[in-house]
Homo-oligomer: A and B are copies of this chain.
Amino acid sequence: MNNRPSVEVCFTPNLFPLHMDNAEFVVVIDVLRATSAICTAFHNGIDKVIPVSTVEEALEYKKKGYLVAAERKGQIVPGFEFGNSPYSYMNKNLKGQTLVITTTNGTKAFHTASQAKEVIIGSLLNLDAVSSFLKKQNKNVLLLASGWQNKFCLEDTICAGAIADQLLSSGDFVCDQDSSIAAKYLYLSAKENYLGYLKSSSHRRRLKKLNLNEDIKYCLTPNQTDVVPIRENNYLINSK
């Protein structure tokens, strides 16, 4: 019983060094909207996603003819075609292509996790798929919330709490950290009505101001896809 793997939650990328020691699989979560967009892109047939940290790197790829998404503070960076609205990726013409993406928080978290042995991408959209995948691995899991500019954010924590709850309920995982317990409690209070629960959250207010309510609603709808994006070298592929 003591050999059961752990599932823990890290609230923001700058707390990652305190939590990473034991982690074998890191799940990067940015519900609004980077990891939701990445999951949607794979669901619609994108072959490979290359997360990059800076707009400059993204621009280099654009010059080379890649499909490139660049978002900062909720908006598409001028000069780019895509941001991180999941709806942009609901397009069958993208099938088989490679997408390069840079976002305010999500790709930063992905690079923070670069030291981890294995990295996968989680969101509410692929909640059950991620949980099933992790249950099969039997490894220590760290759920890394991307947060907002290194601050705690509610929607990523709730998604982490949802994954933690599924793994802990299986009886095959244990958790030790208060952050994990809190994430689970927050998820349990939120699960009946994510949209209502998050009505006062700062990021939802931020995106609502940008008229992104449809994006928010979609990103808060669990289990729209069974993709599990996984890191291979410096890019992501669908694990299936």
Contacts and interface: CB of A to CB of B under 8 A. Distances in A.
Interface string A10-21: 011011001100
Contacts of A177: 151-152, 202
Contact of A179 (B18, B151, B185, B189): B151
A201 B178 CA distance: 6
Interface string A140-164: 0000000011111110010000000
Interface in A181-203: 181-182, 185-186, 189, 200-203
Nearest to A179: B152
Contact of A200 (B148, B154, B181, B203): B181
A182 B202 CA distance: 11
A210 to B, nearest CB: 17
B150 A18 contact: yes
Nearest to A11: B152
Interface string A166-180: 000000000011110
A202 B177 CA distance: 6
A201 B19 CA distance: 17
Contacts of A151: 15, 18-19, 177-179
A154 B176 contact: no
Contacts of A182: 152, 154, 157, 182, 186
18 contacts: A14-B15, A15-B150, A18-B149, A18-B150, A18-B151, A19-B151, A148-B178, A151-B177, A152-B177, A152-B182, A154-B178, A154-B181, A176-B202, A177-B202, A178-B202, A182-B182, A185-B186, A185-B189
Interface of A: 11-12, 14-15, 18-19, 148-154, 157, 176-179, 181-182, 185-186, 189, 200-203
